[in-house]
């Protein structure tokens, strides 16, 4: 009986004085660090995290495992490949919703193609790319003064003409 009373007093003491379990303020160092980061966030950032947490909780365990595995594989990649993937993702996010849908559909169709068909499509693509490069280079060599100007070059030329007071030449 005395043992039980001693155990109860010990538990009460530990509950009232969590310093003995976790440190000065009753929390471990990792929790303190997370709390500091949370307090440093703006209300919008906190809402975003809450929203993402709710989304995470709504996923099935299989979906969460799939995401964790992909994250682990991503972190195992060299930094330059991680950067390339991030850039591609940002490029994808900038697409209009209809374009993103089309990209997803094309990707799924690509995955379902047999290997021989994939090889044939790649070869055709590379051939077209080479023709385009060769044709562009040949035309630029043949007609260097008629090279299509980029929009920023066009604007710079217009400004120069206006500064000089000369009329702009028609294109």
**CB-based contacts of 169: which residues, under 8 Å, 6+ apart?**
161
**pTM to 2 decimal places:** 0.47
Fill in the DSSP letter of residue 18: T
**Does residue 86 lie in a domain region?**
no
**Does residue 45 lie in a domain region?**
no
Which one has a higher pLDDT value, 163 or 109? 109
**Does residue 154 lie in a domain region?**
yes
Tokens 């976790």 -> residue = 22
**Does residue 161 lie in a domain region?**
yes
- The CA distance from 100 to 107, in Å, is 10
Q: Is 27 exposed, middle or buried (0-12, 13-18, 19+ CB in 10 A)?
A: middle
pLDDT digit string (tens) for 54-91? 998 998 999 999 999 999 999 999 999 999 999 999 99
Binned at pLDDT 50, 70 and 90, residue 127 comes out as: confident
**Does residue 137 lie in a domain region?**
yes
- The CA distance from 70 to 127, in Å, is 34
CA angle 158, 161, 164 (to 5 degrees): 150
Number of domains, the chain = 1
pLDDT > 90: percent of the chain: 29
Reported residue count of the chain is 171
CA nearest neighbour of 41 among 30, 50, 31, 53? 50
**Does residue 6 lie in a domain region?**
no
Which one has a higher pLDDT value, 112 or 26? 112
**Does residue 169 lie in a domain region?**
yes
pLDDT > 70: percent of the chain: 65
**Does residue 30 lie in a domain region?**
no
By residue range, what is the domain housing residue 150?
A: 116-171
CB-side neighbour CA atoms (13 Å) of 153:
4
């Amino acid at each position: 009986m005395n043992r039980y009373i001693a155990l109860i007093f010990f538990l009460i003491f530990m509950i009232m004085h969590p310093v003995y379990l976790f440190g000065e303020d009753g929390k471990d160092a990792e929790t303190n660090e997370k709390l500091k980061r949370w307090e440093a966030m703006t209300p919008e950032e906190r809402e975003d995290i809450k929203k993402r947490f709710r989304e995470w909780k709504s996923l099935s365990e299989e979906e969460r495992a799939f995401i964790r595995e992909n994250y682990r594989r991503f972190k195992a990649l060299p930094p330059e490949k991680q950067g390339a993937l991030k850039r591609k993702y940002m490029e994808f996010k900038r697409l209009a919703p209809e374009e993103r849908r089309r990209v997803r559909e094309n990707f799924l169709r690509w995955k379902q193609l047999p290997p021989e068909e994939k090889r044939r499509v790649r070869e055709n693509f590379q051939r077209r790319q080479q023709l385009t490069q060769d044709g562009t280079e040949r035309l630029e060599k043949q007609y260097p003064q008629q090279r299509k100007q980029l929009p920023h070059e066009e604007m710079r030329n217009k400004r120069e003409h206006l500064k000089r007071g000369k009329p702009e030449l028609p294109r």
